[in-house]
Structure formats: structure tokens, C-alpha cells
């Protein structure tokens, strides 16, 4: 029975990624068609809504198959407002998928190389995701999205947290974006006992399942002009350290 259970988990784990990839390809094929239509910007809210529903369906699949179990803490309408900069730690490859499935009308920052990739780029372009170039253009584009009423998800570490590390060094871009848009920063803390595809682990190496996650809505941080950026970054770093150090 134990061997049968192991075989079941292996089959369902890899099937989960096949389903994810197949649905993603279909979505991007549809977005390639939308990109050719005039006035394509008007489709962006519908594409973001579709991405959110598809991510939510995939998370429900992970729950049903016992590949991953996610515990959401504090994710209610009163605390999750559009037009906010949301920041989270980044222990695994699925963090954006998890969080974008719950945030209202959300965009994120997408790597330029992925924007050019025909397998994933068209949906990101149609959804209005921010191209992750460095410098002032990135800040302006991201702040404009937030000022227009969209949620923005940022991982301040800039990459997945290295294994054995609580949290990486914070980059200050999220604070500059929030200040430029005139909105607060909402801290989200992702806790996990075993990460799904963390940094430096091959994608094909299956982790021990089920993988348990807890995603917590933590404190809201003031990003007003009266505060030095360094103080904002230090407060955020402290929130992550406090939230992750006490993780079960």
C-alpha cells in the first residue's frame, strides 16, 4: 500500500505540471489572437480575471490531489484592497501563482526574457504585467498600474530565497513604487516546511508531498515621503524576519 501511495503521488505530481503547462499554452495561444486585435488594452481586465481563476483552479487541484495544502490567513476583502503594493518573500517557484490567485485585479513584474517567450509572454503582455527592466521606466510603469487601481505583487528579494536562508537582501524598488503611486505597502508572509522548486533545485526532482504552505497577511507599511526609504526597507526586513522566525 505504501508503494502504491508513492506511485500515486509521483503520477499526480508530474500530471499537475503537465496540466499547468497545457492550460498555460492554450491561454497564451488565445492571447496571441487578442494581441492582433485593435484596442487590445481593453481586454486586460478580462485576461487578469482569467489568470486569477485558472491559478485558483490549479491550487484547488493541488489541494484535491494532496500535492500541496495551503492555509490562507487574513485574506479577506477588508484587508485586501486593489491599488496597493503587495510584497512577499519568495521561497518557491509557485509563490506568484498562489498569491495572484487571491489578490484583487493584480499584476506583477515579469522578466523581459519571459515577456518575449511565446509560451508565456502573450498572457503577461495582455494582462498588463510590468516589464522587469531596471531603472526609472520600471518604477514609472509599475506606479502607473497601482495608481490606476490595480494591485501590484513584488518579491523584494528579486529572486527565490536560497535554501537554508530565512530571507534574502531586500531591494528598495517596492518602496519607491509605493511612494510614487501614493499607496501603502502590504506585507505578505509565505511560510512552508518544504519548498516546491526552490532556488538551485532541479525542476524534475520531486519533493516529499504533501507540501504545506501558510500565506499570511501581515502588517501594512506606510511609504509616505516623510519616511526615508532605508527606514521603510528596514521595517519590511524586520517584518519578514519576525514572521518567518516564528514559523512552525
Domains and CATH numbers, the chain: 2-245 (3.40.1130)
Cell of 61: 487541484
**CB distance 139 to 180 below 8 Å:** yes
* CB-based contacts of 24, cutoff 8 Å, min separation 6: 119, 120, 123
pTM (two decimals): 0.92
pLDDT (tens place) for every residue of the chain, 248 residues total: 778 878 899 999 999 999 999 999 999 999 999 999 999 999 999 999 999 999 999 999 999 999 999 999 999 877 888 999 999 999 988 999 999 999 999 999 988 888 888 889 999 999 999 988 777 888 999 999 999 999 999 999 988 888 778 898 899 999 999 999 999 999 999 998 766 767 777 777 888 888 899 999 999 999 988 899 999 999 999 999 999 986 54
Amino acid at each position: 500500500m505504501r508503494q502504491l501511495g508513492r506511485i500515486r503521488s509521483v503520477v499526480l505530481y508530474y500530471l499537475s505540471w503537465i496540466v499547468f503547462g497545457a492550460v498555460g499554452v492554450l491561454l497564451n495561444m488565445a492571447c496571441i489572437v487578442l494581441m492582433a486585435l485593435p484596442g487590445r488594452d481593453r481586454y486586460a481586465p478580462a485576461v487578469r480575471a482569467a489568470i486569477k481563476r485558472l491559478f485558483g483552479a490549479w491550487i484547488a487541484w493541488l489541494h484535491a490531489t494532496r500535492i500541496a495544502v495551503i492555509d490562507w490567513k487574513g485574506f479577506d476583502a477588508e484587508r485586501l484592497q486593489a491599488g496597493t503594493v503587495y510584497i512577499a518573500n519568495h521561497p518557491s517557484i509557485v509563490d506568484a501563482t498562489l498569491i495572484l490567485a487571491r489578490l484583487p485585479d493584480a499584476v506583477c513584474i515579469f522578466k523581459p526574457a519571459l515577456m518575449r517567450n511565446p509560451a508565456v509572454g502573450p498572457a503577461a503582455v495582455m494582462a498588463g504585467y510590468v516589464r522587469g527592466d531596471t531603472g526609472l521606466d520600471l518604477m514609472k510603469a509599475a506606479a502607473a498600474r497601482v495608481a490606476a487601481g490595480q494591485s501590484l505583487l513584488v518579491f523584494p528579494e528579486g529572486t527565490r530565497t536560497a535554501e537554508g536562508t530565512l530571507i534574502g537582501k531586500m531591494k528598495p524598488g517596492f518602496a519607491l513604487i509605493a511612494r510614487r503611486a501614493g499607496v501603502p505597502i502590504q506585507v505578505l508572509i509565505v511560510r512552508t516546511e518544504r519548498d516546491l522548486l526552490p532556488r538551485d533545485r532541479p525542476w524534475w526532482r520531486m519533493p516529499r508531498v504533501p507540501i504545506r504552505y501558510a500565506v499570511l497577511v501581515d502588517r501594512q507599511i506606510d511609504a509616505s515621503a516623510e519616511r526615508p526609504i532605508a527606514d521603510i526597507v528596514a521595517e519590511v526586513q524586520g517584518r519578514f524576519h519576525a514572521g518567518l522566525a516564528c514559523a512552525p
